[in-house]
Chains A and B, each alone.
Chain A
Amino acid sequence: MHWQESEEVKDSLYKGNSGIGIDPLRTEFGFRSPLTGIVEDLDLKKMLSRRQRVSMGEESRYAYVATIEAMQKAQITEDFFEKNEVGIIYGNDSTALSVVESVDIIKEKKDTTLVGSGAIFKAMNSTVTMNLSTIFKLRGINLTLSAACASGSHSIGLAYHLIKSGLQDCIIAGGAQETNHISMASFDGLGVFGIRPDDPTKASRPFDQDRNGLIPSGGGATVILESYESAIKRGAPILGEVIGYGFSSNGDHISTPNVDGPSRAMKRALEDANIGAEVVDYINAHATSTPVGDANEAKALFEVFGKSNPLISSTKSMTGHECWMAGASEVIYSMLMMEHSFVAPNINPENPDEDSAKLNLANKTIDKKIDVFLSNSFGFGGTNSALIVKKC
């Protein structure tokens, strides 16, 4: 079993490595595109009891190992959770495989008991938070945030506000995404997945003229958010400070993104952070490699950041679109860049289109000190989230 820890992720980001490959099962299953981020599922037998594991689907397994690593980085232990009221807000917006597996059993056996005791806990959308809160014995706020592909980002934003308002001192936030073919089938059905099976690593090409769709991916990403006082009190290594959260809803089409919604979210994040656009050194774009989405984000980015023209890249060019997880993982990718002073590349930039040509795209790795970054996440239904994080 292997999962990518942040050190390995940092190296891949720096080198501009793509994690996209082919899943032969998808073609057989009727997918238009067999391409996906290649993420290994996890066997947690050595880490958790049977009782704990039977309630966990793919997304919870990813979230669990991500949280273990986040705890190590934050130098926080379960002993702290026991003595303090720690909460969890985690982004997740589907549990497709677990639901399908249970329904298949009921259809075959005509008996609901035979789905087993874990089925209900795996099938609910709050599966990640119900599992992690019981495993780690958390006693603070406990909720799952479902906001399509902005779920992970909003979870950090909401956690930030609960801490800022003094209601909580420490919250585990993040996002998880199942990657199995069952979970992605209806998304593929919309015709929005990129097709380039002869050259998978070139398929995710945000802002490039020849992009033809996003490449699905997933996993788990966790950050530990804590009040400054709490972090100082326990001598925690402070990796960054959330200084701004902007949100908006497009009030428009269910799947087609617009310019106004993302633009308002970014402006609100800047206002919340009380900084001008010129203070932002780097933007991790939402850009998924879809024709309309990237073009509209480019327009919104130019509208808000056109004057200062900060470096921009979409790490989805390497990772694919990690959907419910993306808003959290991309904050972590950006924090790794901030920690190690580089901007990860927007790979596959052969021909920028008209809108992206106006942006300062980092099309190769750039060694640069980052003090403040903004991370964009948008989702179906027109939900938008922009987070601004500052180096400490």
Chain B
Amino acid sequence: MNQILIFCNMNKEVPVHILEKYPAGKRDGLIPILMEIQDEKGFLSEEVFQEVGRYLNIPANKVYCVATFYDRFRFKPAGRYLIQMCRGTACYLSGSTTYLDEFVRQLKVSPGGTSKDRRYSLEVTSCMGACDSAPVIRINDKIYSRVTPEDLVRIIRSLKEKTE
């Protein structure tokens, strides 16, 4: 392990194998590193910003502020199922808000929050870039496109079944 990795005290929060792929002190690695950490850990914790900042030589506060720009990054651990509802124009026009309300009503979870039983997290994201498939819903890694109200009923039913 190289010197900088040891200095950054990496073993705590940030997996070393992620950092090793990117050169230290080069800020272009910032977003890919944060994305990989999130994929592995599920969210970005406070220590992540400090450690990544130290590794890339960017003030920790700057790392945090850059991350807040993107809807993609989470700062709190998500529930078992992370439901992301696209609020882009196309999805909005094809009724994404009604779908959102349905999730809120049926799964007892508020937008941006996590249900009390930690089963579901609901997020409203900016355009996912799949407008031709609107409305789009992403649940963990699975993307549901051109969702109809009937689909939605099925999706919610299967979510409930899986978590029972």
A and B found bound together:
no
Taking Cβ atoms with an 8 Å cutoff, the residues of A that contact B are none
